Chains A and B, each alone.
Chain A
Amino acid sequence: MVSMAMRQTPLTCSGHTRPVVDLAFSGITPYGYFLISACKDGKPMLRQGDTGDWIGTFLGHKGAVWGATLNKEATKAATAAADFTAKVWDAVTGDEVLTLAHKHIVKSVNFTEDSNYLLTGGNDKVLRIYDLSKPEAEPQEIAGHTSAIKKALWCNNDQQILSAADDKTIRLWDKNTKEAVKTLSFDASVSSMEYIPDGEILVITYGKTVAFHNAQSLDLIKSVDAPASIHSASLHPEKDFFVAGGDDFKLYKYDYTTKEELESYKGHFGPVHCVRFSPDGELYASGSEDGTLRLWQTAVGKTYGLWKCVLPEELSSENSEALYCPPAEIKA
């Protein structure tokens, strides 16, 4: 096989009409894996994860959707919105299953592994745990943050909770005692957080920094500074790469072991708000202020999803009719 330097062709998923602020992948299911996007237009969308094909739009929120998540099996979705509600959806039919009223804008939602509990966090500074089998029951509440919560995640086999807030702290809570077990303080607001259960790694971004912490001790493992302010980062499942995106509209790819910047990609027309690797690590998705999601290959040129590895001879043959070759970039 002739090795040839290929140029990354991102796949653009259109449909949203306002900035895409959050995205999440499901696990790998018998029907592939799925991707949900949260958008300020209030209409979160479900897409097939490996192609970006639109599957459906969850209709019901009356305000910007700030957070969205899928359970592992992609049978349930949850969304957090500016209309002061979190909603749970049937991710197969698109039907709204539950509306959970809050006292302020909800920013983050996260299912436990068994999909039985939903964690929410938002501008009222309180973490809430809803038992989805008893939706009318009052949620358990965990208070402590002194500013709006940006992200809340289950960790340590759903026994603990990690939360990041505008009070520039990340706190680790015990879900039973509801006490803060550990607190990390920063000089700047944390822009994003990703929890990797396999290996217990927490990926945090703040300012221009991408930092990797031990998810149990919260000790720093390593950190890397990017050329621009970073809004989100994601670690590859095999922990060989990580990707990051932020204010300069670009996606950066780094070697996790050496911290070396490997590649940077232009494509978005606005700041990148969220980026996540797919569960199989073959691609990563980014959401931007420009209202689009883009899918990027981890191994550029590999045949996967809609990307096709084409040898030079094939490009000029009859078989190339079915292929779409992106036009050469016009540099403004």
Chain B
Amino acid sequence: MKTPVSVLRLPRGPDPNSRGFDPSSPRFLALCPTSVPSSSSSSSDEEEQRLRAELRERFLRTLLLMTGKRVRFDMHEHVRVHARFGASDIDVLNLQVSDLETPLGVQREALLRCQDVIACSFEV
């Protein structure tokens, strides 16, 4: 009867909350340029960055405002459903919703895949 080879631990699996590529890892720090803007960057780059940051902030604030509200989700294949929006995950891959109204009935709790969602609308 052979002895099985021992292992220190099992390989680490994916983090369910993020897509990984840890920015504090030695490889990332060594190979990626720092995010501090250099004085040589053109003003159009800075303007674009400022606009991107503004759009991102508006998007995040919209998500916050959506919390707890009844939202209409327009999805692929002409699917349109209503549900109460709970939260998004950190990479905006999935949306947690409650009381999802589907043709098959009301789903108490559900996750919507963001890649399937085209638009969402709600009353402010």
Contacts and interface: CB of A to CB of B under 8 A. Distances in A.
Contacts of A62: 115
Interface in B5-25: 5-15, 19-23, 25
A59 B27 contact: no
B77 interface: no
A15 B12 CA distance: 9
Interface string A288-332: 000000010100110000111110100100001011111010000
Contacts of A47: 11
A134 interface: no
Contact of B91 (A6, A13, A51, A59): A59
23 contacts: A6-B2, A6-B5, A8-B5, A9-B6, A14-B13, A46-B21, A52-B12, A53-B11, A53-B12, A54-B20, A55-B20, A57-B19, A59-B91, A62-B115, A92-B28, A93-B23, A295-B11, A300-B5, A306-B10, A307-B7, A307-B8, A308-B7, A309-B5
B112 to A, nearest CB: 16
B5 A55 contact: no
Most buried by B among A55, A295, A315, A326: A55
Interface in B46-86: none
B5 A307 contact: yes
B26 interface: yes
B28 A93 contact: yes
A292 to B, nearest CB: 10
Contacts, number: 111
A310 B6 contact: yes
B4 interface: yes
Nearest to A301: B5
Contact of A324 (B2, B6, B22, B23): B6
A94 B28 CA distance: 10
A229 to B, nearest CB: 28
B14 A15 contact: yes
B38 to A, nearest CB: 18
Interface string A1-39: 000111111011111000000000000000100000000
Contacts of B2: 5-7
A56 interface: yes
Interface in A242-283: none
Interface of B: 2-15, 19-23, 25-28, 30-32, 91, 93, 115
A148 interface: no
A51 to B, nearest CB: 6
Contacts of A53: 11-12
Given A75-B31, A93-B32, A326-B4, A31 B26 contact: yes
A310 B15 CA distance: 31
A311 to B, nearest CB: 10
A45 interface: yes
B11 A59 contact: no
Given A11-B11, A46-B20, A54-B11, 8 more contacts: A5-B2, A8-B4, A308-B6, A308-B8, A315-B3, A323-B7, A324-B6, A326-B4
Contact of B14 (A4, A45, A92, A328): A45
Contacts of B22: 55-56
B8 A323 contact: yes
A325 B14 CA distance: 23
A93 B29 CA distance: 10
B6 A12 contact: no
A56 B9 contact: no
Contact of B21 (A55, A75, A323): A55
Given A13-B13, A31-B27, A94-B19, A324 B32 contact: no
Contacts of A312: 3
